[in-house]
Structure 1
Amino acid sequence: MCFLFMLVAHQESWAQGGSRVIQFSGVILGEDSVSGVPGVHVYVPKAGRGTTSNVYGYFSMPALVGDSVVISAIGFEKQHFIVPGNKGENFTAIIELVTDTTYLPPIEILPYPTEELFKQAVLALKLPDAEDYRKMEEVLRADILMRMMQGAPMDASENYRYYSNQQFLAMTDKFQPRSNPLLNPFAWAQFIKSLKKDRK
């Protein structure tokens, strides 16, 4: 079968002006130049023959010297390769494909299909009146929010901070006596600051 194929290729070469038949092989790589690209079509459009790269990106096919070989794959730019005639009976090439990136135009999604419906929705929009604003300001008064904050229990962050402080004090008491807070100026400053905050 292989002999018959080579015989047909030989006759075809003489029909095309005596072009020499060589074995064209190669590896097709992606843009990273490391991993092979499988399923790449390598073919000669004029002659109607070709092959496909395997899982490692390798391919091999008989070709005529001067053939224009097309390398195409989904997601990559199509490339053209001319088979040289000064490389002997076997020629091996390393082909790197370039990713074919298509940029789509931006699409603006609106909640209303037409401008007229948007205008109608804006005109029909019911805004809160003065009574609603008064109730909202009454509920969100600063003194009410302050009392709510002071009466709220500690959250996870405050519990962790309190536990860390207690653990630090326990380690300090283990190696030396605890200092008297009445003689600590920083403690007095914190106490006075808390009194001023309570008056507000």
Structure 2
Amino acid sequence: MRKNLLLLLLAVLSFTAFSQTEKEEKLIQFSGLVMTSDSLHAVPYATITIKERMRGTSANAEGFFSFAARLGDTIYFTSVGYKPAVYIIPTALTVDKYSVIQLMTKTEYYLRPTIIYPWGSREAFRQAFLDLRAPSDLEELARQNTEREKLAEAAKELEVNGNEAARRQLQARAVKYSYMGQLPPQNIFNPLAWAEFIKAWKRGDFKKKD
């Protein structure tokens, strides 16, 4: 009698262990979408890992994923720029397919600004700047662009805005008020004007052009 009871007890324990193992080993198709928690946009290529087996997959460009998992598995969701998320598959499922929408929260990483210079030190930069020699054609071009005559011609072609017109009018009034009660000076007696006239005459600015 005792022997029969012992055999019955072993059979019950074996059946219970087998049922529990079968339940734990039950596989389901676990799928879903990984989305942002604030705007519900897809999180592309998120990494999905099963903690117990350190296996997993990754979502596609639309945030979709699908893989085989077990009941009770702990699933980790990670992606650059987002806080990690955890989901535990329920153990009481009776279906072989299970879908979820996993939300992830954005996180911000502040990096210190980095400026890269081609010189090893300030002294090296100073020496390189002093040793810099611009090509002669560039020097000539810079000299021509800064000639007074060309600057004056360029200024004439520019349209006068409201601020410039007001400034010129105020300057003209200031000059007029400064010579009030007396004759304003004539450029014919201005030595600087005569010097500019002589330079222009020597350059041939007054010759007729064919």
TM range (shorter): 0.3 to 0.5
TM value normalised by structure 1:
0.45
Structure exhibiting the larger radius of gyration computed from Cα positions = 2
